[in-house]
Amino acid sequence: MGLSFPPFLLLFGGVLLTPRLFCVATYCPPPDFPERGRYVPEKLKYEVGTQIQYFCTNGYPMDFIDNGWVISVKNVACQSSGEWSGQTLFCDIPIKLKNPILSSDTDSKELDGKEHKCFGYQNDTEEILQFPLDDELIPYAFFLCFTKGQGVFNIRFSPTWNFTYDTDIIKNSVCAYFSIDTYHSKTKSITIEVSSKTNSSIAVCDMIVFSKDDNWCDHPPEYSAINGQLEVNHSKAVLHCKEGFREKEGREVYATCKNNTWSYLNLKCVDTQENKKSLELTCIAESHCFPPSFIL
């Protein structure tokens, strides 16, 4: 007891020293979004607790989780801090693979899939498919699609990385997704050795490969723009100012990536009618702030 103050007095004293404590965000601004993608729902502002879901209009939704690339449906929520609970994902487009070079024509035959060319293997045969690449690339994830059957696959990003995949019995056509978390050197070709199991057959129908560029960031930029949104891919973040605002010098590129690190170019969205210099409250946009007069 002794010298203690009533709690409201303590609170009042705290408020006078740190008026920021009185800024309570009840909305989040529209979040950043991926190049070739968006999120739903789209609004001008979001109440705390609202969830949005990212999607890709082109490419595959990729999120970097625990050192690997995950194809994901991503939801983030507006938090009471006025910030989103997570960052945007990326919409990545696979590289174009040419038809593979086959080690022999006797054991395999091209099957006439509707969309894909399949390579089939009967009863204990082996085959090697080699996909030559136009450039030296750093693969980071791939799909391998099969028809029904059972087989063993050794996938080699020559010469340093290989992976063996022993399928269970596959009853319907499926694609298996693999994320390559430790592979960081370039390759000029991808090789798949396929062996079907005794009394079984299997066909490989399509391989879909994702690769990194030289300028590449695993995560989107950490810093977003006030009064604007960023449209991001792995190497660039482009600024879109919200309605009534424009970049102060008409620039677009907000940040660029080199060696997995973003550099920020100091862009700013400013009010198009720079008339009223509003109260210098440090609350973020769309927060509810008690005006100073209320506090005094």
Ligand X SMILES: *[C@@H]1O[C@H](CO)[C@@H](O)[C@H](O)[C@H]1NC(C)=O
Distance CA 221, CA 79 (A): 19
Please answer whether residues 155 and 212 qualify as being in contact, where contact means their C-beta atoms are separated by less than 8 angstroms.
no
E-assigned strand segments in 197-278:
201-212, 228-232, 236-241, 245-247, 253-258, 261-264, 269-271
58 binds ligand X (CB under 6 A): no
Residue 125 CB, nearest approach to ligand X (Å): 9
Window 88-127: contact mask with ligand X (x via CB under 6 A): ----------------------------------xx----
d(CA 190, CA 171): 27
Q: Stretches 54-62, 73-81, 135-143, 194-202: which one binds ligand X (CB under 6 A)?
A: 194-202
Q: Which position among 235, 246, 283, 287 is part of the footprint of ligand X (CB under 6 A)?
A: 235
Q: Does 263 bind ligand X (CB under 6 A)?
A: no
Cα–Cα distance, 65 to 137 (Å, whole number): 22
Pick one of 53, 85, 162, 272: the residue that binds ligand X (CB under 6 A): 162
Dihedral, CA atoms, 65, 70, 73, 76, nearest 10 degrees? Answer: 10
From 66-74, 111-119, 222-230, 232-240, span contacting ligand X (CB under 6 A): 232-240
Q: Binding to ligand X by residue 189, rule CB under 6 A?
A: no
Q: Which residues bind ligand X (CB under 6 A)?
A: 35, 122-123, 154, 156, 162, 198-199, 201, 213, 233-236, 238, 259
